[in-house]
Amino acid sequence: MYLNHKETQIQTPSNLLAALWRQLVLGKVISIESQVQKLYQNSEKHPRPTLTDICELLSLEVAQWSKVYIVVDALDECPEDERMVLLERLTTMGPTVNLMLTSRPHITLPSLPYMDIKIRASNEDIHYHNDRESVAGMFLLAKLHMESLATKVTMGAVRQALENLPRDLDAAYEVTMNRINQQETESRDLALAALTWVTNAKRVLEVVELREVLAVKAGTKNLDPDDRPEVSTILNVCAGLIIVDKTSSTIRLVHYSTQDYLDRLFPNAQTDITRTLLTYLAFDDLQSFLDKTASTDARMDYWTRQDMEQKYPLIHYCEYCLVHAVGLPEEELGDMILNFLEAAIRWHRLMHTQNPPRNRWRALPWDFQWPSSPSTLWVAAAANLLKIAENLLNHGEVPNDKDKEMLPLCVASSKGHIQMVKLLGGASLSWEAGCNCRALQLASQYGHTEIVQFLLESGADVNAEEPHGPDHTALQAAIRYGCTGIVHLLFDNGANINVLGKDFPSAFH
């Protein structure tokens, strides 16, 4: 597994472990139907297997092999709470599993019997690397110089430019950005929009996706295909700062240092991206597709879905719309975000429940089962839209009856949204009072220590029983999912180990 900090919305413990299972069974001659059939017997109620389901399936497959070697690269790029869950699952797969982890040295690993090998480059290696990076930087600098010189139309202008060539990359980038900003308005705006997206996207964009993005106009109700710019045009106006990977048909920045430089620019990037994505999802044609699944039992046939995805190639990236919306966009696009939240359950039904697994939206908050008709406050809590949730509470918003399947405080606790938990927990509303037990149990299950601490300090009953989940108490949930630190915290706050459980007589079992 190769972990990437820009793909944390997708690389959850459940998805990573499911990917490992897929690698083990891929290409096997024997049928695996009997192993997975159980997971989908109740697909209407539970469209996605739980983490426990996936681990059980993976353990069964691991047991079929005499040796299994799992390599996890860049473990430090996994968020700490999810990292601990992933490690706990990987280290309890059985004696046939051999695990190798690579990471930067700053992370803390659990107390496990492992061999720690510190890799330090020799001076010779360091000098070689620096020389190679310097050469790469020199070639990039030369490329930027040539891009600049190519714009000159007289020999005098060329000579003057040669006398003032920048000597380092930052200066070269500044010269390049000045050239971009001096273009005519349409070319400049196209370049800045393209650079904003390529720099701030949550994953690498396909060429077709970037062309689609750049054709969206704020306030419009449909996209004109003639507004999609040609790839050559995009590359030209960006003055060499982005390139196309022809093998994967993706578009990326020309060099890693370009990301470092451009990260300092575009302070309104998240707002601009959110506006574009929500404008896109509100297009009339897409709304007509959405209307076909307006009821819970409505289904979109395969060919209709294919038609939608071909006409609207940005639809899959739109899973990140609420990830981009967190923070500043909530203040600047509040009404637009609220309008989308009111229809969010329909998008969840279309792009998650009814979609084939490979095409489902997996970013927050689409990556788990929703109530059948959640309130706007519930969706805001799930997406960690703190300002939106605060405004809803100030205007008297309360959960609806459907939210009782999992109240907003509970979903915020399960997802690790500590500030959202504090907002909802501090609201002192009676409809949340009965949720404290479930919230504490979920925070304990998913390893969110800070939330567990807050709920306990706010008066949550450490021994309260929750009859509807697989574990009756927070202690049983923490033990089942291997959250050792939370087990100690619960004991320190008076947790009773003898409380009877649902699947097991007590936490001892």
Q: What is the pLDDT of residue 129?
A: 44
What is the number of alpha carbons within 13 Å of residue 198 lying toward its C-beta? 31
What is the SS3 assignment for 263-303?
A: CCCCCCHHHHHHHHHHHHHCCHHHHHHHHCCCCCCCCCCHH
Sequence-distant (≥ 6) Cβ neighbours of residue 417 within 8 angstroms: 381, 384, 386
Q: Which amino acid, residue 299?
A: R
Contact status, residue 416 vs residue 81, Cβ threshold 8 Å: yes
Mean residue pLDDT of the chain comes to 81
Measured in degrees and rounded to the nearest 5, phi and psi for residue 431 equal: -70, -15
Q: What is the pLDDT of residue 432?
A: 47
Q: What is the pLDDT of residues 310-320, one digit of tens each?
A: 899 999 999 99
Q: What is the pLDDT of residue 133?
A: 43
For residue 229, the SS3 value is: coil
Q: What is the pLDDT of residue 10?
A: 80
Terminal-to-terminal C-alpha distance of the chain: 33
Nearest 5°: the CA angle 448, 449, 451 is 70
Sequence-distant (≥ 6) Cβ neighbours of residue 337 within 8 angstroms: 274, 278, 322, 325, 329, 330, 385, 388
Low-confidence ranges of the chain (pLDDT < 50): 42-46, 126-139, 429-433
Q: What is the pLDDT of residue 356?
A: 63
Q: What is the pLDDT of residue 278?
A: 97
What is the SS3 assignment for 112-125?
A: CCCCCCCCCCCHHH
Q: Could you say which DSSP state residue 129 is in?
A: H
| Helix %, strand %, coil % of the chain (to 5) | 55, 5, 40
Q: Which residue carries 């999912």 as its tokens?
A: 481
Q: Write the CA distances from 116 to 2, 88, 112, 180, integer angstroms.
A: 20, 18, 11, 49
Point out which residues pair with 250 in neighbouring strands: 206, 245
Q: Could you say which DSSP state residue 72 is in?
A: E
Beta strands in 131-268 (DSSP E): 205-206, 242-245, 250-253
Sequence-distant (≥ 6) Cβ neighbours of residue 181 within 8 angstroms: 188
Q: What is the pLDDT of residue 293?
A: 64
Residue 281 CA to residue 312 CA, distance in Å, equals 10
Torsion of Cα atoms, 456 then 476 then 485 then 409, to 10°? -40
> If phi over 0 gives left and psi between -120 and 50 gives alpha, with beta otherwise, what is residue 27?
left
Helix (H) or strand (E) holding 100: strand 97-101
Helix (H) or strand (E) holding 101: strand 97-101
Contact status, residue 419 vs residue 450, Cβ threshold 8 Å: no
Q: What is the pLDDT of residues 396-416, one digit of tens each?
A: 887 655 566 678 998 999 999
Q: What is the pLDDT of residue 126?
A: 46
Q: What is the pLDDT of residue 324?
A: 97
Q: What is the pLDDT of residue 273?
A: 98
Residue 109 CA to residue 78 CA, distance in Å, equals 13
Q: What is the pLDDT of residue 134?
A: 41
* Nearest partner of 277 among 189, 209, 228, judged by Cα: 209
Question: Helical H runs in 282-417?
Answer: 284-291, 302-311, 321-325, 328-332, 334-342, 344-348, 376-383, 386-394, 408-415
CB atoms under 10 Å from CB of 150, counted, come to 11
What is the number of alpha carbons within 13 Å of residue 308 lying toward its C-beta? 24
Q: Is 364 exposed, middle or buried (0-12, 13-18, 19+ CB in 10 A)?
A: buried
Domain 321-492: state its class: mainly alpha
> Which tokens is 161 given?
């430019």
Greatest Cα pair distance, the chain, in angstroms, is 88
What is the number of alpha carbons within 13 Å of residue 49 lying toward its C-beta? 24
Where in the chain do CATH 1.25.40.20 domains reside?
Answer: 321-492
